[in-house]
C-alpha cells in the first residue's frame, strides 16, 4: 500500500497537482456570447447573457444564462468572478431563459478535467507576478530530451485558457498541433481568471498583465525538458502587443504575431469603424459622423486622460457615445479604462525594433475585420528597419480574426462566434513551416 501511495504522489506531482495554487471547478458546459438577434428582443445587453452551446445535463442548447445563484451579471468578467467563488464538488442555481421563459436550473460544479494524451502530459504550475500566484499550463512531451517551445499569448479578453486541447475553440486546435508534434506548449491564465490569484480581472492594469508573460517566460529556465534556444511566442491580437515588450527584455528565437496593433491604440480605435460599421449596416455618411465623434471622445479619454463623467458634463454631444463606450468605467465589456490607457501609452514599433536577432513573422487574415492590415505589415517594417531581413509579412486567405474559414469580411461578420464556423488549419501549417525553418541548430 505504501509503495502504491508513493507512486500515486509521484504521478500527481508530474501532472501538476502538487502545485500550491488550488485548482478551481467548472460547470463543464460550453458557453458563448448570446447573438444580438437573440438578445435584442429580450432587451439584454451585449454581455448580460451567455448562450449554452450544446445539451449538458439540466442545461439545454440555446439556453441563455443570466444569473448565478440569483445574482445577475452585466459583463462576462462578472460571471467569471461569480464562478470563481464556487467550491468544486458543489452545485449552483443558474437562472436561464428557455424559450423566452425564465427558470432556475441546478447545475453541478465539478473539478476541472486534467489533460494528458499519449503524446504529452500537462503540468499545472504557477508563477508569481505582482505578489499573486498565476496559473500556467505547460504541456511536456513524453518523448525524452529537450524540446522547442510554443508559447501562446492570448488576446484582450479575460476568458480562461484552462481547457483540454481537445476542446473545440479557436485556441485549442492551434496549441494541440504543436503539443502533438513534440513541442513544449505554454499558456498562462490572466490575474483574477480561473485558478489565478489577483483581480478582479476587469480591473487589472496593462502593465500588471504584461508581467505575467514576463514571469512565465523567465520560468522556462527551470524546466530541464525545454530547449531555451528555440522559444517561439505566438501573440494573438493583443497578445501581439505583449510579445515584443517581453521579448525585448528576455530574448526568444522567434515571434509570430497575428491580427495585432502596432500603431497607437487611439489610431486603431478611430480607424476601425471605417471597416466594421459598414459591415453592421451603417451608411458611409453615418460612419463619417461616428468617426468624427469617436476621434473627439478617445482624444479626451486617452491623450488628455479625462474621465467619462467629465466628458459627459463638458461635451454633451459625446454623452451617448461615452456611455455606450465605457459604462461604469469598463470598456469592451471586461477591460478597464486604465487598462486601455496603458495600451495606448505603449510605443509598439519601438519594442519591435528592440528585438535584436529575434525572427518575426507578422500575419494578417485577409478577412479579418477586427485588426488592420497595415498594422501587421508595419510590424515587419519596424523589425526590418532595425535588423534587415529578420521579419516577414504574410496575408492568409479565407481567414478571419479567430482563424475561421470564410469567403469575405462580410461572411465572417455575419457568422462571427456562431456555431458552424470551421477552423482554418492553414494558419497552423504556415506557422509550423516558419518555426521549423527558423529554429536554431
In the 8-state DSSP scheme, what is residue 144? S
Element (DSSP H or E) covering residue 263: none
| Separation of alpha carbons 437 and 148, rounded Å | 13
Going by C-beta distance under 8 Å and a sequence separation of 6 or more, which residues neighbour residue 281? none
CA distance between the termini of the chain: 47
Element (DSSP H or E) covering residue 233: strand 226-236
Grid cell for residue 352 = 519591435
Write out pLDDT tens, residues 324-342.
Answer: 888 777 888 789 999 999 9
Instruction: Name the stretches of the chain with pLDDT < 70.
Output: 1-19
- The residues with which 7 forms a beta bridge, in sequence order, are none
Q: Please state, in angstroms and as integers, the Cα–Cα distance from residue 317 to each residue in 44, 301, 401, following that order.
A: 26, 15, 33
- The residues with which 361 forms a beta bridge, in sequence order, are 256, 392
How many CA within 13 A on the CB side of residue 411?
13
Structural domains in the chain, CATH included, are: 26-111 (2.30.42.10), 120-264+345-437 (3.40.50.1820)
Q: At what angle do helices 337-344 and 206-219 cross, to 10 degrees?
A: 70
- The residues with which 153 forms a beta bridge, in sequence order, are 235
Write out pLDDT tens, residues 96-119.
Answer: 999 889 999 999 998 888 999 999
pLDDT score for 35: 85
Element (DSSP H or E) covering residue 67: strand 64-68
How many CA within 13 A on the CB side of residue 222?
9
Stated pTM of the model: 0.88
Q: At what angle do helices 206-219 and 239-247 cross, to 10 degrees?
A: 60
Tell me what the pLDDT averaged over the chain comes to: 91
Going by C-beta distance under 8 Å and a sequence separation of 6 or more, which residues neighbour residue 61? 52, 53, 54, 55
| Separation of alpha carbons 189 and 159, rounded Å | 9
pLDDT score for 19: 57
Nearest Cα to Cα of residue 122 among 173, 180, 195: 180
217: helix, strand or coil: helix
Amino acid at each position: 500500500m505504501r509503495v502504491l501511495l508513493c507512486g500515486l504522489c509521484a504521478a500527481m506531482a508530474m501532472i501538476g497537482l502538487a502545485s500550491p495554487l488550488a485548482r478551481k471547478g467548472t460547470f463543464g458546459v460550453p458557453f458563448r456570447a448570446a447573438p444580438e438577434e437573440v438578445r435584442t428582443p429580450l432587451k439584454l445587453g451585449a454581455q448580460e447573457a451567455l448562450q449554452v452551446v450544446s445539451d449538458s445535463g439540466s442545461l439545454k442548447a440555446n439556453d441563455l444564462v443570466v444569473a448565478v445563484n440569483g445574482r445577475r451579471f452585466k459583463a462576462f468578467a462578472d460571471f467569471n468572478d461569480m464562478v470563481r467563488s464556487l467550491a468544486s464538488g458543489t452545485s449552483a442555481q443558474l437562472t436561464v431563459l428557455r424559450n423566452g421563459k425564465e427558470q432556475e436550473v441546478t447545475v453541478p460544479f465539478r473539478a476541472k478535467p486534467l489533460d494528458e494524451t499519449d503524446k504529452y502530459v500537462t503540468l499545472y504550475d504557477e508563477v508569481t507576478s505582482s505578489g499573486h500566484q498565476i496559473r500556467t499550463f505547460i504541456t511536456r512531451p513524453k518523448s525524452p530530451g529537450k524540446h522547442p517551445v510554443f508559447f501562446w499569448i492570448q488576446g484582450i479578453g479575460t476568458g480562461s485558457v484552462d481547457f483540454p486541447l481537445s476542446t473545440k475553440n479557436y485556441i485549442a486546435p492551434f496549441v494541440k498541433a504543436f503539443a502533438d508534434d513534440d513541442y513544449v506548449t505554454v499558456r498562462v491564465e490572466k490575474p483574477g481568471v480561473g485558478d489565478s490569484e489577483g483581480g478582479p480581472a476587469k480591473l487589472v492594469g496593462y502593465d500588471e498583465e504584461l508581467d505575467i508573460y514576463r514571469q512565465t517566460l523567465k520560468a522556462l529556465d527551470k524546466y530541464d525538458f525545454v530547449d531555451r534556444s528555440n522559444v517561439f511566442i505566438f501573440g494573438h491580437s493583443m497578445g501581439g502587443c505583449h510579445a515584443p515588450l517581453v521579448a525585448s527584455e528576455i530574448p526568444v528565437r522567434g515571434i509570430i504575431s497575428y491580427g495585432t496593433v502596432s500603431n497607437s491604440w487611439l489610431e486603431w480605435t478611430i480607424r476601425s469603424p471605417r471597416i466594421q460599421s459598414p459591415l453592421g449596416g451603417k451608411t458611409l455618411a453615418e460612419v463619417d459622423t461616428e468617426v468624427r465623434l469617436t476621434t473627439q471622445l478617445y482624444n479626451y479619454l486617452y491623450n488628455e486622460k479625462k474621465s467619462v463623467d467629465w466628458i459627459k458634463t463638458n461635451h454633451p454631444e459625446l454623452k451617448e457615445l461615452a456611455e455606450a463606450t465605457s459604462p461604469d468605467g469598463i470598456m469592451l465589456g471586461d477591460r478597464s479604462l486604465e487598462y486601455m490607457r496603458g495600451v495606448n501609452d505603449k510605443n509598439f514599433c519601438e519594442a519591435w525594433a528592440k528585438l535584436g536577432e529575434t525572427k518575426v513573422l507578422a500575419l494578417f487574415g485577409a478577412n479579418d475585420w477586427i485588426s488592420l492590415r497595415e498594422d501587421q505589415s508595419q510590424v515587419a517594417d519596424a523589425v526590418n528597419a532595425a535588423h534587415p531581413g529578420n521579419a516577414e509579412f504574410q496575408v492568409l486567405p479565407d481567414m478571419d480574426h479567430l482563424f475561421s474559414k470564410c469567403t469575405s469580411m462580410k461572411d465572417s461578420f455575419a457568422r462571427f462566434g456562431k456555431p458552424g464556423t470551421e477552423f482554418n488549419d492553414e494558419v497552423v501549417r504556415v506557422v509550423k513551416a516558419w518555426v521549423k525553418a527558423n529554429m536554431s541548430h
